[in-house]
Amino acid sequence: MIQPIVNLFKLIRIVRERGNRLLFQRSSKQVLDILFCRNDINRKNPVSALFYWFGVLKGLDMLVWRLETFGFLHLPDSTEADRVRLNRYIDS
C-alpha cells in the first residue's frame, strides 16, 4: 500500500535529476494528456486514472524505462554532449 507513494517520491527525484526539460516544455500538452489519461490510447475518467497510476507506480523500474525510451528522461550515464545530440531536432 505504501510502495506506490514511496515510488512517486522516487520518480519525482529521478525527473528532477534526469528529466528532459526541453522536451517537457515542447510537448507539455501531450504530457498532461498522458498524466490525466485523456489521450486516445488510454482514455479514462479521473477516478479510474487515479487507480491506474496507483497501479503503474507499483513498478517504478518499468515506468522509468518507458520514460527513458520516449526521451522524457536522460540515461543515467549520459553526458551533456549526448543530451544536446538527443535534443537537436526538438528546436527545429
Instruction: Please tell me the predicted confidence (pLDDT) of residue 14.
Output: 95
Residues 62 and 7 sit within 8 Å (Cβ to Cβ): no
pLDDT digits (tens, 9 = 90+) for 31-84: 888 888 898 888 999 899 999 988 899 999 999 998 888 888 998 888 999 888
Would you kindly state where each structural domain of the chain is located, as residue ranges? 3-86
Residues 34 and 89 sit within 8 Å (Cβ to Cβ): no
Q: What is the pTM of this model?
A: 0.80
Residue 40 zone, left/alpha/beta (φ > 0; ψ -120 to 50; rest): alpha
What CA–CA distance (Å, rounded) separates 66 from 48?
21
Instruction: Please tell me the predicted confidence (pLDDT) of residue 92.
Output: 57
What CA–CA distance (Å, rounded) separates 92 from 88?
8
In this structure, the number of other CB atoms found within 10 A of the CB of residue 7 comes to 20
